[in-house]
Amino acid sequence: MVAANIMRAAPFTLREDSTLNDLLKALTSEDSKAIPVIDSANKAIGVIPADRLLKELVLNLPAPGGPREIVRNMAGLGKKPVTGLMDKAFAHCSPDTPATGIAAAFDGDKAGIILVVDDNMRLLGVITPGDLLKRLWEYKEKETR
């Protein structure tokens, strides 16, 4: 079992010129803990953990506030580029990485997502811990029949 058999192909991504408004829309419509960022050549250049945006919106308020203050903060931050929040160092693997290598890559990965890339860093898919566990479970079920 290798990354190519585990990954979700064609994941939702943001381009490097996307804004924080684009990120917020993406995170509210996608059930993801992190969003990959790609350049115009579809090369992976970073990952933005969802909690990073939440911290930016809530923790950077001048004083503790409620929803109204958070929404005002959203308006002020909305045009900022996503590249300011992305992690440029991110977990990635090749399509032929075995399941054990993928599991090891999750150790210490804070974003909870591994990008599957080709030799030129072009994004091919993503793997979450849930994706790996699902495939391992399917394999177990098939083997025990």
Ranges of the chain with pLDDT below 70: 29-31, 57-78, 109
Neighbouring-strand partners of residue 44: 38
pLDDT tens string 90-102 = 999 999 999 999 9
Tokens 């939440």 identify what position?
54
Task: Quote the pLDDT of residue 72.
Answer: 65
pLDDT tens string 124-137 = 999 999 899 999 99
Sorted by where each begins, the domain ranges of the chain are 3-143
Tokens found for residue 110: 């804070």
Task: Quote the pLDDT of residue 83.
Answer: 87
Q: Is the pTM of this model over 0.85?
A: no
Q: Which CATH number fits domain 3-143: 1.10.3210.10, 3.10.20.90, 3.10.580.10, 3.90.25.10?
A: 3.10.580.10
Q: Which helix (H) or strand (E) holds 72?
A: helix 67-77
